[in-house]
Chain A
């Protein structure tokens, strides 16, 4: 027996919008391998097609836009998942796409020096606050107009303004929303995330946006981390890097938003005793909801910054340039597995099965949020030359 050690239990997250259709029963190392291999094959097929098309069109002097491997990997994943379905043996491994996403983000720290993280992170945080205030107000108004329940409206507002699926799951517990509201909100956010993969790069190219500006826009406007990373990488490798940075800033705020909602729910007397008890220790609550992988990203970025220091003693503590290059490339490989997973867990049937009203509220809200964040980013680009 290879191992009986329990590995990341991601069953509840695969696919997040289809409860009851989980992967294989056991997440053992051996059980994960077929799915991880499938992620690699699908992702690498995307990379191969990008390379093949580039070489072929150049050799035959055909004008053809460079389509990043990301799109092919996601498309192949969607086709496999929806035409034949992902066989049970692969499911546990495919569900590890979230692990590769987080590992990829941590390793991406190697491509940032801490100064850039602080500058762009600071700008992103200000933009996040403005976009958050707007989306919260707008989504709440929209939810009321369309007669959605307060819980579903709250989940849609949090999902579209903070960070998609994780924010919805975290808030669900704080406001005692039921499973159905949470599944509907997650389905709406994922459907809109999938649409943004195809629309955002087109808008970015039409507006001739820089990699910096586009990346930050994608990171601020696309809700789920995997989709935001993919939407950035679809534009360019550099844009993908900035999309992750902006999205990471949004993710870091999740605890504060959930805490604010939990307090509001308790004040209104709507929270259950269990949810109220959670608020006894607010610092512990914040730490529990904080995405810890962000700390890993900061540590790697710190080591990258130390390595670039003029002082040899300090530089010896950090990574050298070739080491940073290697870590950056490892991050790209981790994202390749993630993007294949994004396609493989997209279940088109389930996305269309949800009710029309939550989808309309989500869609109208998302378009408004995308437009507002676009204006904010273009304004910030004008002032700070992102």
Chain B
């Protein structure tokens, strides 16, 4: 019999992770927490 995992799981698709990452960066930039990103 298999034992249910007790590890917290946040298994999202790569698309969802990419959207979350971009949203977080967008908010950080929008509220001025990070400015002047050089390239």
Are A and B part of the same complex?
yes
**Structural contact, B25 and A107, CB atoms closer than 8 A:** yes
**Structural contact, B22 and A296, CB atoms closer than 8 A:** yes
**Structural contact, A326 and B34, CB atoms closer than 8 A:** yes
Task: Please name all residues of chain A whose beta carbon is closer than 8 Å to the beta carbon of B34 when the two chains form the complex.
Answer: 326
B residues contacting A by CB (< 8 A) are 7-19, 21-23, 25-26, 29-30, 34-39
Task: Please name all residues of chain B whose beta carbon is closer than 8 Å to the beta carbon of A295 when the two chains form the complex.
Answer: 19
Interface footprint category on A: 20 to 34
**Structural contact, B11 and A9, CB atoms closer than 8 A:** yes
CA distance A7 to B23 in the complex (A): 17
* A187 close to chain B: CB less than 8 A: no
Extra 20 A-B pairs, beta carbons < 8 Å, given A292-B13, A293-B19 = A4-B8, A5-B8, A7-B10, A8-B17, A10-B14, A99-B18, A103-B22, A106-B18, A106-B19, A107-B25, A293-B15, A296-B19, A296-B22, A319-B29, A322-B35, A326-B34, A326-B36, A327-B29, A330-B37, A332-B39
**Structural contact, B35 and A330, CB atoms closer than 8 A:** no
Q: Which of A4, A5, A8, A10 has the most CB of B within 10 A?
A: A8
**Structural contact, A99 and B39, CB atoms closer than 8 A:** no
A319: which of B8, B23, B30 is its contact (CB, 8 Å)? B30
* Chain A residue nearest in CB terms to B31: A323
**Structural contact, A327 and B26, CB atoms closer than 8 A:** yes
Task: Please name all residues of chain B whose beta carbon is closer than 8 Å to the beta carbon of A293 when the two chains form the complex.
Answer: 15, 18-19
Distance in Å from the Cβ of A84 to the closest Cβ of chain B?
A: 27
**Structural contact, B17 and A7, CB atoms closer than 8 A:** yes
* A6 close to chain B: CB less than 8 A: yes
Task: Please name all residues of chain A whose beta carbon is closer than 8 Å to the beta carbon of B36 when the two chains form the complex.
Answer: 322, 326
Given contacts A8-B12, A319-B30, A329-B37, whether A300 and B17 have CB atoms under 8 Å apart is no
Task: Please name all residues of chain A whose beta carbon is closer than 8 Å to the beta carbon of B29 when the two chains form the complex.
Answer: 319, 323, 326-327, 330
Distance in Å from the Cβ of B37 to the closest Cβ of chain A?
A: 4
Task: Please name all residues of chain A whose beta carbon is closer than 8 Å to the beta carbon of B18 when the two chains form the complex.
Answer: 99, 102-103, 105-106, 293, 296
CA distance A293 to B9 in the complex (A): 22
CA distance A44 to B28 in the complex (A): 24
Task: Please name all residues of chain B whose beta carbon is closer than 8 Å to the beta carbon of A325 when the two chains form the complex.
Answer: 37
* Chain A residue nearest in CB terms to B10: A5
* Chain A residue nearest in CB terms to B39: A329
Task: Please name all residues of chain B whose beta carbon is closer than 8 Å to the beta carbon of A181 when the two chains form the complex.
Answer: none
Question: Which A residues between 315 and 360 are near B, CB-CB below 8 angstroms?
Answer: 319, 322-323, 325-327, 329-330, 332-333
Distance in Å from the Cβ of A377 to the closest Cβ of chain B?
A: 28
* A291 close to chain B: CB less than 8 A: yes
CA distance A292 to B13 in the complex (A): 10
Distance in Å from the Cβ of A29 to the closest Cβ of chain B?
A: 11
**Structural contact, B14 and A98, CB atoms closer than 8 A:** yes
CA distance A5 to B20 in the complex (A): 15
* Chain A residue nearest in CB terms to B6: A4
Per-residue B-contact encoding for A1-36, CB less than 8 Å = 1, 0 else? 000111111100000000000000000000000000
CA distance A362 to B4 in the complex (A): 46
